[in-house]
């Protein structure tokens, strides 16, 4: 499937400003903008590009003007808004060819085009690029898998919750390893659907239950609590907001594996969980992204 589209891109912004503008765009331009994404502009300086992809039929010039207005409202008059034509490509074929397999501890994440590369040992998870976030190639997902591998070396969790499951990689990894009950939850119904499909494709559907949920208040989650491991690979701000909820469904001695935050956001996230009685057990950094294990 080939597509031609437009995106609106900012100049390099501090992560918090780029994230704030992304949230504002999501709230104000839901019909003009189909998706936003953050990409590194200058990792050494902590600067990020914000890409806002125009919806089909939307006027890029009008959308760019509205985004410039939102940036100005957020005290970002020098956001450097520009319109960029997205190259006409077969994005499915390109995304698959660009995604080499990933090793993270005992886990091997690959696309269907790389099945022949699966190792004999460990846990292999097949995920193809789709509409839901997560192919295992982002540093936050790798960090969570490595953190889970570290947890498995010292404990045998029985129940696992994945908050913000995306394509379901973490829930599937837990299910295939433990052969036990896992809940995969996400606020996005499409992500939940894709996570369920991926669980079936990986032979994990027996153990993976899915729920469309914001946070941990869903009846399926509450009925299954407490959990020995809770994954939350989201972003720093929701990690802080959800701290009381996540801790409330964590079993005594259980571990929260948190990611989606940059190294300079660690202190605020750790502080939010310390207020709920958790302590930092281990931290990992992959390409500037942090993963925390709290107990």
pLDDT in tens, the chain (295 residues): 334 478 999 998 888 888 889 989 988 998 889 888 877 777 667 788 899 988 888 899 999 999 999 999 998 877 889 998 876 555 455 555 556 788 899 999 988 888 788 888 889 999 886 544 554 567 899 999 999 999 999 999 999 999 999 889 999 999 999 999 999 999 888 889 999 999 999 999 999 999 999 889 999 999 999 999 999 999 898 999 999 999 999 999 999 999 999 888 999 999 999 999 999 999 999 888 999 999 9
Q: pTM above the 0.85 mark?
A: no
Say if residues 199 and 182 touch (Cβ distance below 8 Å): no
pLDDT of residue 111: 83
Q: What is the pLDDT of residue 214?
A: 86
Provide CB contacts within 8 A for 33, sequence distance 6+.
8, 25, 26, 52, 53, 54, 55, 58, 63, 67
C-alpha closest to that of 134 among 162, 166, 158 = 166
* Helix/strand/coil for 286: strand
CB of 174 within 8 A of CB of 160? yes
Domain ranges of the chain: 2-92, 132-294
**Which DSSP symbol is given to 120?**
S
The token pair at 254 is: 């259980």
Pick the CATH number of 2-92 from 3.40.50.300, 3.90.870.40, 2.60.40.1730, 3.30.70.260: 3.30.70.260
Residue 9 confidence (pLDDT): 92
Write down the pLDDT at residue 108.
93
Q: Where are the extended beta strands (E) located within the chain?
A: 2-9, 13-14, 33-42, 47-54, 82-90, 102-104, 107-110, 123-126, 160-163, 182-186, 208-212, 227-233, 250-262, 280-286, 289-294
- Residue 3 has a pLDDT of 40
Helix axes 139-152, 169-178, angle to 10 degrees: 20
Count of Cβ atoms closer than 10 Å to residue 120 Cβ: 5
* Structural contact between residues 53 and 86, judged by C-beta atoms closer than 8 angstroms: yes
pLDDT score of 93: 52
Q: Which fold has domain 132-294?
A: Rossmann fold (3.40.50)
């Amino acid at each position: 499937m080939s597509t031609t589209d437009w995106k609106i891109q900012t100049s390099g912004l501090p992560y918090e400003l780029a994230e704030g503008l992304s949230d504002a765009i999501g709230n104000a331009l839901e019909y003009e903008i189909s998706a936003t994404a953050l990409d590194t502009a200058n990792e050494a300086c902590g600067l990020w590009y914000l890409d806002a992809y125009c919806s089909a039929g939307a006027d890029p010039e009008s959308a760019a003007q509205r985004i410039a207005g939102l940036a100005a409202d957020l005290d970002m008059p020098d956001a450097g808004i520009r319109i960029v034509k997205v190259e006409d490509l077969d994005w499915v074929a390109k995304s698959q060819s660009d995604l080499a397999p990933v090793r993270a501890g005992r886990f091997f994440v690959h696309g269907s085009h790389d099945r022949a590369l699966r190792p004999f040992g460990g846990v292999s998870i097949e995920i193809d690029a789709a509409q839901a976030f997560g192919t295992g190639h982002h540093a936050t997902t790798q960090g969570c898998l490595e953190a889970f591998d570290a947890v498995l070396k010292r404990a045998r969790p029985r129940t696992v919750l994945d908050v913000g499951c995306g394509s379901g990689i973490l829930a599937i990894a837990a299910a295939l390893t433990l052969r036990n009950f896992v809940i995969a939850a996400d606020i996005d119904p499409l992500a939940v659907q894709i996570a369920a499909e991926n669980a079936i494709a990986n032979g994990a559907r027996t153990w993976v239950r899915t729920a469309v949920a914001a946070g941990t208040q869903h009846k399926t989650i509450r009925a299954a609590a407490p959990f020995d491991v809770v994954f939350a690979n989201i972003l720093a701000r929701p990690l802080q907001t959800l701290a009381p909820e996540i801790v409330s469904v964590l079993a005594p001695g259980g571990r929260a594996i948190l990611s989606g935050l940059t190294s300079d956001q660690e202190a605020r996230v750790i502080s939010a969980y310390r207020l709920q009685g958790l302590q930092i057990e281990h931290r990992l950094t992959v390409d500037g992204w942090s993963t925390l294990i709290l107990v």
